[in-house]
Amino acid sequence: MLPLAILAAAVAGCAATSSPPGPPPTAHRLTEDEIRTALIGSGNTAEGADWQGRRFTLYIAPDGAVRYRDAGLNDVGVWRIAGGEDGAKWCSKWTLRRKGGWVCDEVFRDGERFFFAADGRIAATLLRIAAGNTAGLDGAPAIRK
């Protein structure tokens, strides 16, 4: 079995490194409308991996709520889209992750993959997006497993 870091690098189309790479050169940075349409819609479930290969599932609700699950954590939070001179960013704030602070990332799309990047480095990649709450993440409390 491949180590998760190598798997994530293969998924992102790059070699394994000790720090995350940037989005592929063919990726297009999304506008606010493109983020709303592609990621949120009327509520979407996304499956992805962070830059270290940890797999996760998100449910992004249109009312600004977001739910997260990975092998060791269930978390709840909120999202918003921030605009500015440098373009739209996806921002999220979690109960347990990232010490409860807001984190904003640029969102890029390359085919069916979405890349969340800060300072030119990929933080996470969404590999699959499905309409609705297909993973049943409603009501899951924020807990470390």
Q: Given this model, what pLDDT does residue 3 score?
A: 39
| 112 inside domain | yes
Q: Do the domain assignments include residue 97?
A: yes
Confidence (pLDDT) at 5: 36
Q: Give the chain's radius of gyration (CA, Å).
A: 14
Assess if residue 145 is contained within a domain.
Answer: no
47: in domain: yes
- On whether residue 104 sits in a domain, the answer given is yes
Which tens digits make up the pLDDT trace of 38-91? 999 999 999 999 988 999 999 999 999 999 999 989 999 999 999 866 689 999
Question: pLDDT tens digit string along 92-130?
Answer: 999 998 888 899 999 999 999 999 999 889 999 999 999
pTM for this prediction: 0.81
Q: Give a yes or no: residue 144 inside a domain.
A: no
34 within domain boundaries: yes
Q: Check whether 139 has a pLDDT greater than 90.
A: no
Domain containing residue 96: 4-134
Q: Is residue 143 part of a domain?
A: no
Report whether pLDDT(19) > 70.
no
Angstrom distance (rounded) from CA 87 to CA 96: 28
Alpha-carbon gap, residue 125 to 23, rounded angstroms: 9
CATH number of the domain at 86, please: 2.40.128.640
Decide if 122 contacts 113 (C-beta within 8 A). no
The total number of structural domains in the chain stands at 1
Q: What is the mean pLDDT of residues 119-143?
A: 89
